[in-house]
Amino acid sequence: MTIKRQRGLALSALLLWGIAIGLVAILVIRVLPDVIEYSKIRHAVKAVASESSGKTVAEIRHAFGQYAEVEHIKTLGPADLDVFKEENQVVVAFAYERRIPLAGNVSLLIEFSGSSSARDSGQ
C-alpha cells in the first residue's frame, strides 16, 4: 500500500504570498509615474545640451521649457536647471526630490538627479 502525500500550498501561505505581492504591486504603481517622468526629464536635458552650442543660459532654459511643455513635465521647470561649462562642453544638470505617500503617515522619499555630462551617461 502506497501512501500519496498531498502537494500544494496551504491557505495561510497563499494569503501571505497574496499580501506580499499586493504590497509590491502598490509600491510599483505609486513609484512608476515618477520614474517615467525622471526618464523624460533626462531625455529632455540631454537633447537640450546636445543642441546648446553657441546658446546662452536663457536660451538653453527656454529650450528645456519647450521640451517640458511637449512632454508634459510638471516636476521640474527651466529655472531649476543648473547650466555650466565643463571641459569646454555645456552641461545641464538637475536635482529634485519626490515624496510619495504610501499609507497613513508613511511616505517614500526619492532623490532624483542627473546631468548631460558624458560621465553621467551610464545612469
Per-residue pLDDT tens, the chain, 123 aa: give them.
677 777 777 888 889 999 999 999 999 999 999 999 999 999 999 999 988 888 889 999 999 999 999 999 999 999 999 999 888 888 999 999 999 998 889 999 999 999 988 665 444
CA distances from residue 81 to 2, 26, 39, 44 in whole angstroms, order as listed = 73, 31, 15, 12
**Would you state the pLDDT for residue 103?**
84
**Beta carbons within 10 angstroms of residue 65's beta carbon:** 17
Domains of the chain, residue spans: 32-120
> Would you mind telling me the total number of residues written for the chain in this entry?
123
- Phi, psi (rounded to 5 degrees) for 3: -95, 125
